[in-house]
Amino acid sequence: MKLMGVINLDHELDQLNELTYFRAGAAVPFAGRYRLIDFALSNMMSAGVQDIALFVRRKYRSLLDHLGEGGPWDLNRKRGGLFILPPDWNDPTDISAGDLQHMHNNRDFFARSSGEYVVHSGSQHLSKVDFCELGEYHKAKGADVTVVYKRVDEFSPEHEPCFRVDIDEEGFVSGIHHEKGNHNLYIELFIMEKNLFLQQMEYCIAHGDSYFFRDAILKNPNGLKIAAYEYKGYHAVINSIESYYKNSLELLEPEKYKQLFSPDMPVHTKIKYEAPTKYLEGAKVSNSLVANGCRIAGEVEGSVLFRGVKVEKGAKVINSIIMQKCVIEAGAIVENVILDKDVQLTENRTLVGDPRRPFVIAKRSTL
């Protein structure tokens, strides 16, 4: 079964405040050395997907920089590979709207790929879905579309905007909606046959629609047979600062960490060549995730340090997320904060946020 991938960021809102002022949500750094988009891309890579289109409308500079030719995901191929497709459409007769614009104007991508099935994903739901298994399930069910859902026992605020799925006894979808009591969250992942996908896209455009998932699948005007695939592994939704903070710190639980970074489905990211992290005399680090290239002389507790962070003597980092190349100078204290890249906290400054509403400091600030 040959798969092709679409990572569609068109409907993703920039909800991470300072972190998404200048970058798409998909490009937000996560878990010490990754960007959110790495998880969707790596899942596709694990399934051997070699044609992947990225539909993105704005704030894609940092995505372009991060993804490059797609080498880290083995997508720098002679045939196919990674196609980053920002909007550039000049067809005066084009009547498409919304995310259908991307699909319509990049028909060539679909036509040229030898993939028979389209796996369609966003970047806000982090998961480890095995797309090969999903594809087999889809075929075995004889479905037109298979949507992936995760059953959550306990709701969190970030679950609120998620679509819910009603499932009948045979495992088919009987309804998709926003009703809050339903525990089956749609994790923004579906698979369908390429030709059917294109056909549905044309139908939607002809009917003045603007949102493929809503108009072709949720409303299902053509009576598609929609199967539901239950995913049981690691899942997180990153659609707010609070959910970003919470899900980042939850990786300090070894169980979660092992689920997300299971060695059989490695997560790949852009390679940097930093030396291993240095713990100096007096360093006190506990319950933390630390990437390479850091230099720690102070205290770090319950935190995530990205690459190249410096924590000087007497500085304290508590329950915080410190992104690439930040410097916490001597005697400075941060607690419950998120520092974007290149933030410098000068000597003896104290910055304390509320654990429910962490403080966010924008990129390249000096405090």
Partner 1 sequence: MKKKEMIAMLLAGGQGKRLKGLTKSLAKPAVYFGGTYRIIDFPLSNCTNSGIDTVGVLTQYEPLVLHSYIGVGSDWDMDRKSGGVFVLPPHEREDGSSWYRGTADAISRNLKFIDQYDPEHLLVLSGDHVYKMDYNKLLDYHKEKGADCTISVINVTLEEASSFGMINTHEDLKIYEFDEKPKHPKSTLASMGVYIFKWDLLRKYLVEDIDKPDGESDHDFGKDIVPKMLADGLSLYAYPFEGYWRDVGTIPSLWEANMDLLKDEPELDLNDPNWRIYTRNPNEPAQYVAPQAKVHQCMVNEGCTVYGEVDRSVLFYGVEVGEGSVISESVIMPEVKIGKNVRIHRAIVDQGKVIPDGTVIGADREDDSEILLINGDSPF
Residues that bind partner 1 (CB under 8 A): 31-33, 71, 252, 254, 257, 260-261, 266-269, 271, 273-293, 295, 304-305, 308
Q: Provide the minimum distance between the beta carbon of 330 and partner 1 in the complex, in angstroms, as a whole number.
A: 14
Residue placing its CB nearer to partner 1 in the complex, 286 or 348: 286
**Beta-carbon contacts of residue 2 (< 8 Å; ≥ 6 apart):** 114, 115, 116, 117
Nearest Cα neighbor of 238 from 31, 46, 6 is: 31
16 or 260: CB nearest partner 1: 260
Smallest distance from partner 1 to CB 168, Å: 39
* Least spacing, CB of residue 214 vs partner 1, in Å: 35
For partner 1, the closer CB: 172 or 257: 257
Tokens 């806000």 sit at which residue? 124
Residue closer to partner 1, measured from CB, 162 or 285: 285
- Closest CB to partner 1 among 221 and 282? 282
CB 191 within 8 A of CB 119: yes
For residue 166, give both structure tokens: 């009603």
Query: What is the closest distance, in whole angstroms, from the C-beta atom of residue 319 to partner 1 in the complex?
Result: 13
The terminus-to-terminus CA distance of the chain in angstroms comes to 54
Task: State the burial class of residue 88 (Cβ atoms within 10 Å of its Cβ: 0-12, 13-18, 19+).
Answer: exposed
Q: Are 353 and 335 in contact (CB under 8 A)?
A: yes
Nearest to 135 by CA among 151, 158, 119: 119
Nearest approach in angstroms of CB 31 to partner 1 is 6
Q: Which DSSP state fits 275?
A: P
Q: What is the bridge-based pairing of β-strands 337-339 and 359-361?
A: parallel
Q: Is the CB of 88 or the CB of 281 nearer to partner 1?
A: 281
From CA 75, how far away is CA 54, in angstroms rounded?
A: 12
Least distance from C-beta 312 to partner 1, angstroms?
Answer: 12
Instruction: Report d(CA 285, CA 279) in Å as an integer.
Output: 9
Task: State in angstroms the smallest separation of the CB of 328 from partner 1.
Answer: 17
The pair of three-digit structure tokens given for residue 293, joined into one six-digit string: 């290239």
> Which is nearer to partner 1, 69 or 94 (by Cβ)?
69
